[in-house]
A and B are shown apart, each in its own frame.
Chain A
Amino acid sequence: MSQTIRLTLKIWRQKGPADPGRFETVAVDGVSTDMSFLEMLDVVNEKRILEGGEPIAFDHDCREGICGSCGAVVNGRPHGHLRGTTLCQLHMRHFRDGDTIVIEPFRARAFPVIKDLVVDRSALDRLIQAGGYVSVNTGSAPEANTLPVPPDRAERAMDAAACIGCGACVAACPNASAMLFTSAKVSHLALLPQGRPEAARRVLAMVRAMDACGFGNCSNHRECEMTCPKEISIVHIARLNREALKAGFLSPEA
């Protein structure tokens, strides 16, 4: 049953990277509980635009939980309080009439704020550029059975590949560490035969890039795996640690 609720939003407003920013309090009425969180923000923005005000900037694209564009910190929780859900898939029925909702951008030195709730996550792209790929020759695809992949291995690689690169792990980590993101990439490729040839170089290069971007270090708080909208496990962080040990001490890579 659709209902409408009344909310008080405390939203982070920041004109640009150099602006110190502040919280703005917005009262919203008649929010349908069938709306998604982003649709609720759309309604607020439409009203603002009609009134000649400046809309609240936020990132979004697919709005179906698969692209990793959306994300803000809602009442202290990246993507909100619902387990395994992106912000675009969080619905207003999970809030109560009269609630006050504090909305902040992802906070990390490596994720500078561009405007309002929009942060620059290109540090994650730099991590991918450092090693989150396999090098293959183009041309006709090889015969499928030449590279056997056991199904359980394929499953585990898929679990890691479920990462949509939203950066919520960094936002949730008390140390703003990117270990869950990085480990998902390292693990996904290390588990598959296509990824093995470059595994040693990849893990060392990605760890180096991660440190250069200014992310913090992993303290095994596990906030990342509890927050990840794709519920990626810290098992992958352990695999990164293992891959890095092997690569660092046993491979010729430096």
Chain B
Amino acid sequence: MGWLVSLLGSSVGKKWMMAVTGFAFLGFLAAHFAGNLTVFGGRESFNGYAQKLQSLGPILHLFRAGLIACALVHITTGLLLFLQNRRARPVGYQVAASAGGRTLSSRTMPYTGLLILAFVVFHLFHFTFVPPAPLTIFDRVAAAFRRPELVALYTAMMVVVALHVRHGFWSAFQTIGAHHPKYMPWIFALSLAAAFATAIGFGSLPILVAALV
């Protein structure tokens, strides 16, 4: 047991935990996206999807528990890494320059991460931890996205998520050692594709719902 604690507590171990939990979130995003699409089937289809999810009972709770565990690990490890990294350079440079490695996405990871955390909490109280009646989930979503400020908030947040995905996706592969001259170009391309899919796929939803529903 001691070996596992010291292994996961090491700098590379902490990064593995970030990568593995990050992969779990990517899987969750894909599933969440598929579920969202049912909103375009109208009230019946979206409410039906929500009911089906609820009817899963223990399985749903298991998934939720897993996601919460992943979130706890990702957030605490991320914060720990952030603080350690700041401590590793107590005196900074007079001139800040980049050799071209850093991207907007890579330099903002801790900040986009914290924004996403705040958004997820808001989103859960907004749409998930709500009574099923008298308003159905479809009514709630439709009502929410009739308010332009909520459309703007949700869409902007999806761009933030996309930024996080942009660096997190390929980074997770690199961190678990999956770097191969044959596949790395694909992983980089997929990383960009996943970011665009997040921004456009999720980000357009509030706008489309506002326009169509």
Question: Which A positions have Cβ atoms within 8 angstroms of B?
Answer: 10, 12, 23, 73, 75-77, 81, 102, 104, 107-110, 172, 174-177, 179, 204, 207-208, 210-211, 214-227, 234-235, 237-245, 248-249, 254
Contact of B101 among A10, A175, A221, A245 (CB under 8 A): A221
A-B contact pairs, 18 of them (CB 8 A): A23-B94, A73-B95, A75-B95, A76-B93, A107-B93, A174-B102, A176-B85, A218-B11, A220-B174, A221-B101, A221-B106, A222-B101, A223-B102, A238-B179, A239-B179, A241-B16, A242-B176, A245-B177
Residue numbers in A under 8 Å from B52 (CB-CB): none
Residue numbers in B under 8 Å from A110 (CB-CB): 88
Give chain A nearest CB distance to B162 CB in angstroms: 18
B177 and A216 contacting across the interface, CB-CB below 8 Å: no
Q: Nearest 7 CB-CB pairs, A to B?
A: A76-B97, A242-B177, A238-B179, A216-B88, A222-B101, A226-B99, A76-B95
Residue numbers in B under 8 Å from A220 (CB-CB): 106, 167, 170-171, 174-175
B88 and A235 contacting across the interface, CB-CB below 8 Å: no
Residue numbers in B under 8 Å from A237 (CB-CB): 174, 179
Query: How distant is the Cα of A220 from the Cα of B102 in the complex, in angstroms?
Result: 9
- Which residue of chain A has the shortest Cβ distance to B8 in the bound complex? A248
Known pairs A77-B99, A102-B94, A240-B177; list 13 more (Cβ under 8 Å). A12-B94, A76-B94, A81-B97, A109-B89, A109-B90, A110-B88, A174-B85, A174-B107, A177-B88, A219-B85, A223-B99, A237-B179, A245-B177
What string of 1s and 0s marks CB contacts (under 8 Å) between B19-50 and chain A? Answer: 00000000000000000000000000000000
What string of 1s and 0s marks CB contacts (under 8 Å) between B147-167 and chain A? Answer: 000000000000000000001
Residue numbers in A under 8 Å from B175 (CB-CB): 218, 220, 241
Residue numbers in B under 8 Å from A225 (CB-CB): 101
Give chain B nearest CB distance to A190 CB in angstroms: 11
Q: Cβ of B199 < 8 Å from any Cβ of A?
A: no
Q: Cβ of B201 < 8 Å from any Cβ of A?
A: no
Residue numbers in B under 8 Å from A102 (CB-CB): 94-95
Query: How distant is the Cα of A36 from the Cα of B167 in the complex, in angstroms?
Result: 38
A241 and B101 contacting across the interface, CB-CB below 8 Å: no
B89 and A241 contacting across the interface, CB-CB below 8 Å: no
Give chain B nearest CB distance to A242 CB in angstroms: 3
- Which residue of chain B has the shortest Cβ distance to A177 in the bound complex? B88
Residue numbers in A under 8 Å from B87 (CB-CB): 109, 214, 216
Contact of A244 among B3, B12, B91 (CB under 8 A): B12
Contact of B93 among A104, A175, A227, A244 (CB under 8 A): A104
Query: How distant is the Cα of A241 from the Cα of B109 in the complex, in angstroms?
Result: 20
Query: How distant is the Cα of A222 from the Cα of B167 in the complex, in angstroms?
Result: 11
A207 and B12 contacting across the interface, CB-CB below 8 Å: yes
Residue numbers in B under 8 Å from A10 (CB-CB): 94
A214 and B88 contacting across the interface, CB-CB below 8 Å: yes
Given contacts A221-B107, A234-B179, A241-B177, contact A207 B11 (CB under 8 A): yes
Residue numbers in A under 8 Å from B97 (CB-CB): 75-77, 81
Residue numbers in B under 8 Å from A107 (CB-CB): 89, 91-93
